[in-house]
């Protein structure tokens, strides 16, 4: 290579780091996309990270423990990165690391999540804050921090919600509140990011194999929380027993497939409900219909059945366009 060509190459590479332009790194395929997955140490997050890596994409896999970071980094196409979504300093450090790597960032998967299940009239405020800090403020913090990189690449953002963001019931209030908030977050963010050609989706799994119940039970043990003395002692005891002895759920391969579609499909969906059995789909859709009926019930602008069916037909037609 002559001196002029060498100089041009150096200038182009230097500009790529200054501007954040995502030139392919040496030895990496030109079409490889870089994706950050939070909460990637176990369960659904680990499955998503491995699925993306198997497809040839480069994954920054967020985890809190060094042992998990090392285990993730041992997988081809995965680089473990320290990332607690409740710690702004770690988020900022992750942004700095990924920016300096020079790949840019095409996709963000806000997957980190926890569960707090307790009666709403008894739940400790510390537990409620913990629930929202991870499940709601986590995606808010991480997305805000990485938005410039995602906007630059005209990439994709997806968040792991839950069918519990539609459904709710006794004892599930804290968790369902956090996931219901993600539904609103997704719609608002999608409207705002449309200006930058960035697509936003939420994936809403049913019951798949994950570590979320193990983490829940371990945290309750650490905080010495039991059913004893609760106004809902019988219900809590039953739940804790079921959680401790629940059968193995289906592996979350279908959830990862939905995430890949949200990240790479030409026309991604806004919402991906993914459930292992039909019953979970049915109860979720029926709950959404029940809320529609309640919204329409006995007020001066209520619609009759024919008008509601026309609205449903219009929505179905729009979804199929």
Would you name the residues annotated as active-site residues?
175
Q: Inter-axis angle of helices 253-264 and 43-54, to 10 degrees?
A: 60
Distance CA 270, CA 162 (A): 14
Q: Please list, in sequence order, all residues whose beta carbon lies within 8 angstroms of the beta carbon of residue 304, skipping any fewer than 6 positions away.
A: none
The residue among 156, 155, 163, 197 whose CA lies nearest residue 183 is 163
By C-alpha distance, which of 101, 137, 131, 140 is closest to 21? Answer: 101
Q: Residue 160: what are its φ and ψ, rounded to 5°?
A: -80, 105
Cα gap 55→52, rounded to integer Å? 5
110, 266 Cβ separation under 8 angstroms? no
User: Cα-Cα-Cα-Cα dihedral of 162, 168, 174, 176, to 10°?
Assistant: 20
Give the integer Cα–Cα distance in Å for 99 and 44.
Answer: 26
Q: Alpha-carbon distance 66 to 79, whole Å?
A: 12
Picking from 238, 235, 234, 239, the residue whose alpha carbon sits closest to that of residue 216 is 239
DSSP letter for 41, please.
S
Instruction: Indicate the DSSP class of residue 286.
Output: H
How many angstroms separate the CA atoms of 82 and 65, rounded?
A: 7
């Amino acid at each position: 290579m002559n001196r002029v060509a060498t100089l041009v190459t150096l200038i182009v590479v230097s500009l790529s780091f200054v501007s954040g332009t995502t030139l392919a790194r040496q030895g990496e395929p030109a079409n490889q996309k870089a994706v950050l997955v939070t909460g990637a140490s176990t369960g659904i997050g680990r499955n998503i990270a491995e699925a993306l890596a198997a497809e040839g994409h480069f994954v920054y896999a967020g985890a809190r423990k060094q042992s998990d970071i090392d285990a993730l980094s041992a997988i081809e196409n995965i680089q473990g990165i320290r990332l607690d979504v409740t710690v702004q300093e770690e988020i900022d450090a992750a942004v700095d690391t990924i920016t300096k790597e020079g790949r840019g960032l095409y996709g963000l998967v806000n997957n980190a999540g926890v569960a707090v299940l307790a009666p709403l009239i008894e739940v400790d405020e510390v537990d409620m804050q913990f629930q929202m800090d991870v499940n709601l403020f986590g995606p808010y913090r991480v997305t805000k921090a990485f938005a410039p990189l995602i906007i630059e690449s005209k990439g994709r953002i997806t968040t792991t919600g839950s069918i519990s963001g539609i459904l709710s019931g006794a004892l599930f209030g804290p968790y369902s509140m956090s996931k219901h908030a993600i539904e609103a977050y997704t719609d608002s963010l999608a409207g705002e990011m449309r200006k930058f050609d960035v697509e936003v989706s939420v994936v809403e799994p049913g019951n798949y194999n994950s570590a979320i119940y193990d983490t829940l039970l371990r945290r309750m043990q650490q905080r010495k929380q039991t059913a004893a003395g609760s106004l809902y002692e019988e219900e809590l005891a039953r739940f804790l027993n079921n959680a401790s002895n629940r059968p193995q759920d289906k592996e979350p391969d279908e959830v990862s497939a939905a995430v890949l579609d949200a990240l790479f499909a030409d026309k991604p969906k806004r919402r991906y409900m993914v459930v292992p059995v039909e019953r979970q789909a049915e109860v979720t859709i029926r709950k959404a219909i029940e809320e529609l009926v309640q919204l329409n019930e006995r007020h001066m602008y209520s619609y009759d059945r024919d008008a509601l069916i026309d609205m449903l037909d219009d929505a179905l037609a729009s979804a199929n366009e």
